[in-house]
Structures are given as structure tokens and as C-alpha cells.
């Protein structure tokens, strides 16, 4: 069953060709063979189009739903980390606060990236020449100092 589903387009195309040939042979007779074959081919073509459109629409819907669920999960994780860091920041010394500022900058960047996450953006990223997206990193949480630029690469493990 799995092999059938993995190659369903091929199976449906083969079935369509078989229906076209058999319909012309069984229903057409000598005088109407090509006419019946042509009408059957048109009907099979339209049916294939509707089936493939429905399948692609469903795939897009599932992809969007998965992306939204991942978005919600990541946002929840970021919010929990920010809450933990805010508790640490209240008791931190000057050196620790300086380090926490860098962490907050990274969290703000992740929040901006998460807001811009979409299936179109993912397609553009994977289709880009070298698979890279250059993003400007926002300033720190207080906006007092600009953070350095960030260059994300597809093959990066960060």
C-alpha cells in the first residue's frame, strides 16, 4: 500500500491511459473509435487535473498548519526563556547584566525571525542561489546600541 501511495501520480496516469485505450476499443467500434478515445482522453485529463489540484491544495494546507504549530511552539519556548532571563536579570551583577544583554539581543532577533516565518519565506530561502538569507539584527532591548549583523546559512548548525 505504501508503494502505491508513494507513486500515486504514476499509478493514476497509467490507469488513465488504460481507461482511454479500453474505452475507445470497447465502446467505439470501427466508426467511432477515435471520437470515443478523444472524449475519454479529455474526461480523464480533467479528472486528473481535479485530483492533482485537490491533493496539492491539501498539501499546502497541511504545510501551513504545521508551520503555524511550529511557530506557536517556538514562540512559547522563547517566552519561557525570556521570563527566566528576566528573573535572573533582577538579581544579576553588572557583568552578568552585560552578558544577559547579549542574550536578550539574540532573543529579540529570534522573535523577529519567528514573526517573519512563512511558507513563502521558506521556499525563497531554499530556492536562493546559495541557500542563504541575510538578515539585519535589531538593536538591543533598550535600543541603546546596535547589534552586529547576522548572516544565516542553510548549512549552518547554529
* pLDDT tens per residue, range 58-69: 999 998 898 888
> What is d(CA 150, CA 38) in angstroms, rounded to the nearest whole number?
59
Answering whether pTM is above 0.75, one says: no
Mean pLDDT, rounded, for 132-158: 41
Structure confidence by residue, pLDDT tens digits, 22-62 = 998 888 788 888 999 999 999 999 999 999 899 899 999 99
- For the record, the C-alpha cell of 31 comes out as 466508426
Q: What is the pLDDT of residues 88-140, one digit of tens each?
A: 777 778 888 777 788 878 878 887 877 777 777 777 777 775 545 444 444 44
Q: How confident is the model at residue 14 (pLDDT cuts 50, 70, 90)?
A: very high
Give the end-to-end CA distance of the chain in Å, rounded to a whole number. 39
In the predicted structure, residue 11 carries a pLDDT above the cut 50: yes
Where in the chain are the domains? 1-67, 92-158
- Per-residue pLDDT at 129: 53
pLDDT at 153 over 80: no
Amino acid at each position: 500500500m505504501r508503494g502505491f501511495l508513494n507513486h500515486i501520480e504514476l499509478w493514476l496516469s497509467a490507469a488513465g491511459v488504460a481507461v482511454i485505450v479500453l474505452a475507445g476499443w470497447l465502446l467505439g467500434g470501427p466508426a467511432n473509435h477515435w471520437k470515443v478515445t478523444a472524449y475519454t482522453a479529455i474526461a480523464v485529463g480533467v479528472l486528473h487535473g481535479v485530483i492533482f489540484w485537490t491533493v496539492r491544495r491539501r498539501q499546502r494546507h497541511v504545510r501551513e498548519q504545521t508551520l503555524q504549530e511550529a511557530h506557536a511552539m517556538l514562540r512559547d519556548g522563547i517566552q519561557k526563556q525570556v521570563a527566566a532571563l528576566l528573573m535572573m536579570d533582577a538579581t544579576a551583577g553588572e557583568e552578568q547584566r552585560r552578558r544577559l544583554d547579549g542574550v536578550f539581543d539574540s532573543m529579540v532577533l529570534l522573535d523577529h525571525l519567528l514573526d517573519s516565518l512563512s511558507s513563502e519565506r521558506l521556499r525563497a530561502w531554499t530556492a536562493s542561489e546559495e541557500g542563504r538569507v541575510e538578515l539585519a539584527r535589531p538593536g538591543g532591548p533598550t535600543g541603546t546600541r546596535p547589534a552586529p549583523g547576522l548572516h544565516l546559512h542553510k548549512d549552518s548548525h547554529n
